[in-house]
Amino acid sequence: MKKSLIALAVLASAAGAASAQSSVTLFGIVDAGIQVGRGEGAGSSDRVQLASGGYSTSRLGFRGTEDLGGGMSASFWLEAGLNADNGTGQGTNTNNQASGGSGGFAFGRRSTVSLAGGWGELRLGRDYTPQFWNLAVFDPFGTVGVGAAQTLGSIITGATAVRASNTIGYFLPGKLGGFYGQFQYYMGENAQNGAATEDDGTGMGLRIGFANGPFNVAFATSRTEYAAGDVRQSNIGGQWDFGIARAMAQYTRDENGAIDGKGWLLGGLFPVGAGEIRASYSRYEADSVGNPESKKLALGYVHNLSKRTAVYTTYARVKNSGGAASAVGGAVTAPNNNSSGFDLGLRHSF
């Protein structure tokens, strides 16, 4: 009898250990707020709306990890974008081309499966591109809301500026003395029939960085093939944490066929009690007809009610020239005219 009890105890212990090696997490963010946008000039229009994602993009996701032993693990990540104001899903892109857009609820923010170990991580699926990360990490507004940097808001690089589908990615392991990096190859998956467009949407990106204490800097570059002209995106960004503030900067150079674009940002995050002041000045210009240029000044405040809940407000103003007509808050503004807007919202994460 004792031997049977011991055997059952061993089996129960083994089953508990096996189940402990795997984990699945449900996570998400719900962010909604009042958003106002103002335009200027002939044909302009204003907008007042309940908008989603003024501080963080609303999302719903599932992620899980299995311990394979020997320092190896397998994981998955499925993340869908949501419009919290009306409950709809956000659009995605299936082939890194204009023809591959789709809407409805989909795991378009990220859909990956990974294998990781001491050698790094191999990741397959739809994911952020290396060329996007510097624009997000070194933007005080994280590329969302009316304060999002103009270096992304006016970017000319198209479908792979933020994410790419059909990716094969590699990430360096941690504990490399502060160095980090990733390489990614992505495919347009067109029929290989000798057509000029068979490589459209195929490309690769690289990002390498160094973070040590208060200092963080990274460089990224990429190329995506299109018959109409290849797209290239390169940028560098950095951050220095002074304790009383985090200073951020970025510079970007882009190409889309015969058109070049460039931009930069200076900004910072300033802790104030349970909150944080956010501020940035960014600009972007292209050498197309008229040399369109947009300059944005943004100022915001986030107050943390808890670790998961925050209220926020942001004001931004864009000045356009050279035929540019960039607007904020869903407004429409006439070329060479200004636009302004603000967000006032609530974000909850789980």
Output the pLDDT for position 21.
63
Q: Kindly give the confidence (pLDDT) of every residue in the chain, 350 residues in length, as a single tens digit, with 9 standing for 90 and above.
A: 333 433 334 334 434 444 446 899 999 999 999 999 999 999 999 999 999 999 999 999 999 999 999 999 999 999 999 999 999 999 999 999 998 988 888 999 999 999 999 999 999 999 999 999 999 999 999 999 999 999 999 999 999 999 999 999 999 999 899 999 999 999 999 999 999 999 999 999 999 999 999 999 999 999 999 999 999 999 999 999 999 999 999 999 999 999 999 999 999 999 999 999 999 999 999 999 999 999 999 999 999 999 999 999 999 999 999 999 999 999 999 999 999 999 999 999 99
Structure tokens that stand for 182 in this block = 């990733």
In a domain? residue 319: yes
In a domain? residue 161: yes
Distance CA(325)–CA(330), nearest Å, equals: 12
In a domain? residue 254: yes
User: Quick check: 262 and 252 in contact, CB under 8 A?
Assistant: yes
Shortest CA distance to 60 belongs to which of 90, 92, 26, 85?
Answer: 26
Strand residue runs (E) in the chain:
22-38, 47-52, 59-69, 72-83, 88-89, 92-93, 101-102, 110-117, 120-128, 163-171, 179-186, 202-212, 215-225, 231-241, 246-256, 259-272, 275-286, 293-304, 309-321, 339-349
In a domain? residue 332: yes
Q: Helix, strand or coil for residue 98?
A: helix
Residue 190 exposed, middle or buried by CB count within 10 Å (0-12, 13-18, 19+):
middle
Count of other CB atoms within 10 angstroms of residue 9: 10
In a domain? residue 13: no
In a domain? residue 293: yes
Distance CA(28)–CA(51), nearest Å, equals: 17
Domain of 40, CATH number, reads 2.40.160.10
Output the pLDDT for position 8.
36
Output the pLDDT for position 104.
85
pTM summary value: 0.91
In a domain? residue 197: yes
In a domain? residue 68: yes
Q: Helix, strand or coil for residue 212?
A: strand
Residue 45 gets which letter from DSSP? B
Going from the C-alpha of 323 to that of each of 57, 259, 262, 263, the distances in angstroms are 30, 15, 16, 17
Residues in the chain: 350
**How many domains are there within the chain?**
1
Domain that holds residue 313: 25-349
